[in-house]
């Protein structure tokens, strides 16, 4: 099925893209519901420009594909982003930064390594055993990281300033014109008590602030889904409402 939305792209770019919608499948967030996704291929001319425009319109990237929810009778998946200029860390945020004060961010090209893969497998085997990514091979991981048609980096977090210090967390991060889009994060499951997932989001916000980038995109917030509700803790938080971004209210 073809999918079009004339509000997303300039006419010239829109004519060069083809959008489709997937068949219904079980929703991974809300039991008993079915999901559909609109998607297009980013392996095209001007892929970075298209990716930026689509990201501002609620799309996410997975390898060479940009997608967003397209469920006809459900709007539970909402794109959210942190406006970095207005973000002030809470007491809990400051504690998370202090707990991980020994970690050093190493920004590297989006090229897979065996070290990253070993960390990912430990994370998946502990946190997402039996999930869709649990049987990921090194070749699969290489495709996940290395086949990006847009500007993408890996933020490696090592427990010390040395390049060979222990790798404890990673974020696959797309670099947009207006900020960072956190595609996928993983960390050492033995260090879960340190709140490494929380720390990586805070560090992205801090890094964006240092660079003067206005947003950190966190993907989809799903009201009623425990595994997605953590995103509400980052305040202020903007939610895409139709074709405009607005602040998420406390009563939502």
Domains in the chain with CATH codes: 2-77 (no CATH), 91-209 (3.40.630.30)
Question: Tokens in use for 240?
Answer: 């895409």
Q: Please give the pLDDT value at position 2.
A: 42
* Matching residue, tokens 């040395």: 162
Interior CA angle at 42 toward 213 and 197, to 5°?
45
Interior CA angle at 180 toward 183 and 86, to 5°?
125
Contact 86, 236 (CB under 8 A): yes
Three-state SS at 249 = coil
- Torsion-angle region of residue 179: left (phi > 0), alpha (psi -120 to 50) or beta? left
Contacts of 197 (CB under 8 A, 6+ apart): 185, 187
Prior bond to 62 cis, omega within 30? Answer: no
Question: Torsions phi, psi of 44, nearest 5?
Answer: -140, 170
Contact 70, 21 (CB under 8 A): yes
Q: Please give the pLDDT value at position 8.
A: 60
Q: How far apart are CA 212 and CA 87, in angstroms?
A: 13
Three-state SS at 211 = helix
Which residues partner with 81 through β-bridges? 217, 238
Query: Using the 8-state DSSP alphabet, how is residue 113 labeled?
Result: -
Q: Please give the pLDDT value at position 7.
A: 55
Interior CA angle at 122 toward 120 and 128, to 5°?
85
Contact 144, 63 (CB under 8 A): yes
Q: pLDDT averaged over consecutive 10-residue blocks of the chain (252 residues)?
A: 50 73 92 93 90 94 94 92 96 96 95 96 81 81 92 96 93 97 96 95 98 97 86 95 92 84
Q: Please give the pLDDT value at position 12.
A: 63
For the entire predicted model, the pTM comes to 0.92
Sign of the alpha-carbon dihedral angle for 23, 127, 183, 85: positive
* Helical spans, DSSP H, in the chain: 11-16, 47-55, 91-99, 114-127, 138-146, 196-211
């Amino acid at each position: 099925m073809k999918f079009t939305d004339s509000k997303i792209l300039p006419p010239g770019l829109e004519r060069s893209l083809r959008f489709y919608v997937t068949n219904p499948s079980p929703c991974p967030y809300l039991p008993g519901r079915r999901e559909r996704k609109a998607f297009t291929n980013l392996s095209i001319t001007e892929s970075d420009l298209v990716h930026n425009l689509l990201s501002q319109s609620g799309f996410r990237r997975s390898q060479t594909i940009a997608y967003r929810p397209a469920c006809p009778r459900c709007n539970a998946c909402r794109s959210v982003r942190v406006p970095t200029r207005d973000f002030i860390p809470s007491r809990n945020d400051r504690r998370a930064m202090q707990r991980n004060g020994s970690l050093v961010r190493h920004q590297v090209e989006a090229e897979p390594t065996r070290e990253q893969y070993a960390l990912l497998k430990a994370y998946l085997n502990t946190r997402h055993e039996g999930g869709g990514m649990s049987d990921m091979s090194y070749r699969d991981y290489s495709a996940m990281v290395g086949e990006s048609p847009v500007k993408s980096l890996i933020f490696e977090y090592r427990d010390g300033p040395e390049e060979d210090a222990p790798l404890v967390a990673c974020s696959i991060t797309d670099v947009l014109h207006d900020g960072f889009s956190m595609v996928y994060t993983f960390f050492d499951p033995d260090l879960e008590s340190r709140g490494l997932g929380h720390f990586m989001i805070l560090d992205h916000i801090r890094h964006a602030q240092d660079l003067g980038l206005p947003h950190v995109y966190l993907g989809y917030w799903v009201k009623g889904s425990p595994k997605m509700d953590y995103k509400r803790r980052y305040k202020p938080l903007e939610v895409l409402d139709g074709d405009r971004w607005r602040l998420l209210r406390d009563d939502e």
